[in-house]
Amino acid sequence: MDNPLSDLDRPNSYIGRSVPRPNAARLLAGQGRYVDDLRLPRMLHAAFLRSPFAHARIVSVDTAAARAMQGVAGVFTRADMDGVCTPWVGTLAHFTGLKSAPQGPLAGERATWQGEPVAIVCARSRAEAEDAAALIDIEWEELEPLPPLAAALEAAPLHPELRDNLAFTRAVDVGGADSAFALEDSVVVEAAFRTGRHTGVTLEPRAILADWQPGEEKLTVHHSFQAPHMMREVLSKHLALPEAAVRVVCGDVGGSFGIKVHIYPDEIATCVASRLLGRPVKFIADRLESFTSDIHCRDHEVAARLAVGPDGRLRALEMDDVTGIGPYSVYPRTSAVEGNQVVNLTGSWYALPAYKARLRVAFQTRTPTCQYRAVGHPVAVAVTEGLMDLAAERLGMDPAALRRLNLIPDDAYPHTSPAGLRFEALSLQKSFDKLLAMMDYDALRRDQAEARSRGVYRGIGLASFVELTNPGPAFYGIGGAPISAQDGTMVRLDPGGSVTVSSSVTEQGQGTEAVLAQVVAHQLSIPVKDVRVVTGDTERTPYGGGTWASRGAGIGGESALQAARALKANILALAGAVMQADPSDLDLRDGQVVDAAGAPRMAMAEVGRLGYFRVDLLPPGFQPEFSVIRHWLPRQYPFAFTNGAQASYLEVDPDTGFVKLLGHWVVEDCGTVINPLLVDEQVRGGVVQGIGAALLEECLYDERDNLLTGSMADYLVPMMGEMPDIAVGHVETPTKESVLGAKGAGEAGTAGAPAAVMNAINDALRPLGAAKIQQQPATPERILRALGKV
């Protein structure tokens, strides 16, 4: 790579510094500007009539009473929207055999999950809209819901035109796994793993304000969303509008975690309603709607086994994953990706000679599932690391020693996993060794033994992992989805010497704006306070993919670096022309153009004023260019893989089944760490979400597929007082594909935490002879059941 980042490092470099988020003070002061804060003239509020059944035929719908209610401007069903909005299908061309039924903004002949939108009411207020929705007279014929997971594959097809309930299947068989398991001296361990459905529970629920302007034939959408350019493409295609007639604005977003990167029928219906009425329409999901309509995730049943030699070397891993996705594959990213990731990732960080896997993706009559933070990673890590602990126990080896023996060596790269993942360079062994040192593993084992002598049961759980970040065009573009792998950044020098950065990556609380400002300030050697960042507006930013899959710093940051370098060259060219000096003898330092001796010669503000206001003083033919756009995407590898390791130390009360978290440690290698503060807090936040999955969070259904956990009273999330101290350490292995060398960091905490916690629980219960707990969340009831007490 030409001109690596280290060539430009200076004592005042912003790379590697913990710069606070520029918008943090404003948001903490309650000055955020979210979708629900927006008020437009003649604006209407939307409410939806949703299916009370998991599966039912819509016999008839009478909206007359609702339409007649005072304050109501419009009531629409699927029939009203079919001529305005074309259906979509959530498939990808490179997922051979993936199938799904067409889906529209509202249910048509049938509802296929409890909470599916059936009709939209637009009124002067949300209260009036909800009252009118209650007046819609709808006749239902309740139908049988599909049975859970694997049983659904044998049931009558939910969508008869698809012939069965198997949405997608994939098989991998490399290295002769069957032969490895058949070896006489192979030590074989096996287990059934179950991960509970859960969802994102963002602080700000989904929100959209659609504003169709009839006079201009233009649609402006204010959206709590992650990928505005993708949304513009979808609206343009399915509402038959020119791209230039659609503007998507994503202002302040109160959290997302992947929940807000999918196409939701109710949000499309809101846009269609605005177009039909010629007025702005706002929809803000309430919490019950969120639980029944936000995508869910991680509904997996996995049967797996591991073959190990007497020396502790891994020989083969086999897994069979059945995952449920609800009634449709979610558009446009598809619901098959999560299960596909589980197949790709399971066992991939170990030197594994043979691997056999089968994936079956099943339709269900439950809320659709799709990508959520650390897509597929927590399942793959829980399966792999759960088997490693079982193997260590069977062999009589220390769990840390077994892992250290089998991790891919740090000098073995590039490396291709059995499932075909290509790793450029990882630090699995170095990261694991650092983790053991951080937690003082041997001291914790001594503390554990001492506690057991007092009848206190503590456990240590370990988990290594890899994390998929910075996805390239081979991830979605190759499948025909309107999802860009590249991101663009415009960097502009303003007349006063400050800099404006406009980027296609977006901000939902990760600190993206701070990172972009740091990268540009570093390249131009100006104070970071002099850099203003604009994101989230398809009319004000270059085209790009947005923020998802931990790509903001790695892809968006690199495009910002390239644009800033180009702007720097233009600044020095102008300064050289004025000073009659070779630009290669000049540099930027502390807001000044300096000569070869480092002496200040011209302030950036002076450069700006000359370029904008006094071009007459420049040599004839010299054209200043102070607005520069650069786009970047990874080419050499489909993904930039990061890696890390986690450990949990906890205590289990065998009388109550309650778990007390005593400590948690993470070592993460995300390449170049641009902002340690933001990376550490991203990791900590991810760990908390992972702990929630391991101990608390689960979307439960009854036998009719009615959701039982539709409020915060029923759906448990981690609380601050319940969380342990989370220590974070780093190893840096920059990717060589970019100058910046940054990989993603947003999903590492979530990827490894559930496995570490589950292994710690089983370690704590080992002296009590309890059955292994491989079902998440490990609730007190499930722990007591494992102990034979309930």
- Taking the alpha carbons at both ends of the chain, their separation in whole angstroms is 61
Domain with CATH 3.90.1170.50 in the chain: 35-143+201-293
> Is residue 605 over pLDDT 60?
yes
**β-pair type (499-503, 198-199):** unpaired
Q: Note the pLDDT tens digit of each residue in 464-509.
A: 999 999 988 878 888 999 999 999 999 999 999 999 999 999 999 9
pLDDT in tens, 516-539: 999 999 999 999 999 999 999 999
Tokens standing for 245? 């007639």
Question: Please, what CATH class does the domain formed by 296-473+636-786 belong to?
Answer: alpha beta
Q: How far apart are CA 276 and CA 75, in angstroms?
A: 10
pLDDT digits (tens, 9 = 90+) for 141-183: 999 999 999 999 999 999 999 999 999 999 999 999 999 999 9
Element (H, E) at 277: helix 265-277
pLDDT of 186 above 50: yes
Predicted confidence (pLDDT) per residue in 77-91, tens digit = 999 999 999 999 999
Residue 58, pLDDT above cutoff 80: yes
Q: Which CATH architecture has domain 35-143+201-293?
A: Alpha-Beta Complex (3.90)
* pLDDT digit string, tens, across residues 539-581: 999 999 999 999 999 999 999 999 999 999 999 999 999 999 9
Task: Give me the mean pLDDT over the 36-51 stretch.
Answer: 99
- The 3-state secondary structure of 155-202, one letter per residue: CCCCCHHHCCCEEEEEEEEECCHHHHHHCCCCEEEEEEEEECCEECCC
- pLDDT at res. 590: 92
- How far apart are alpha carbons 466 and 528 in whole angstroms? 32
Assign 414 a pLDDT band (cuts: 50, 70, 90).
Answer: very high
CA proximity to 649, closest of 666, 662, 658: 662
**CATH fold of 5-32+486-632, please?**
Aldehyde Oxidoreductase; domain 4 (3.30.365)
pTM over 0.75: yes
Render pLDDT for 769-778 as a digit per residue (tens, 0 to 9). Answer: 989 999 999 9
Q: What is the pLDDT of residue 12?
A: 55
Q: Where in the chain is the domain with CATH 3.30.365.10?
A: 5-32+486-632, 296-473+636-786
> Helix (H, G, I), strand (E, B), or coil: what is residue 132?
helix
- Per-residue confidence band for 4, with pLDDT thresholds at 50, 70 and 90: very low
Whether residue 613 is predicted with pLDDT greater than 80 in this model: the reply is: yes
- Model confidence at 679, pLDDT cuts 50, 70, 90, reads very high
Average pLDDT over the chain, rounded to an integer: 96
Q: Output the pLDDT for position 638.
A: 84
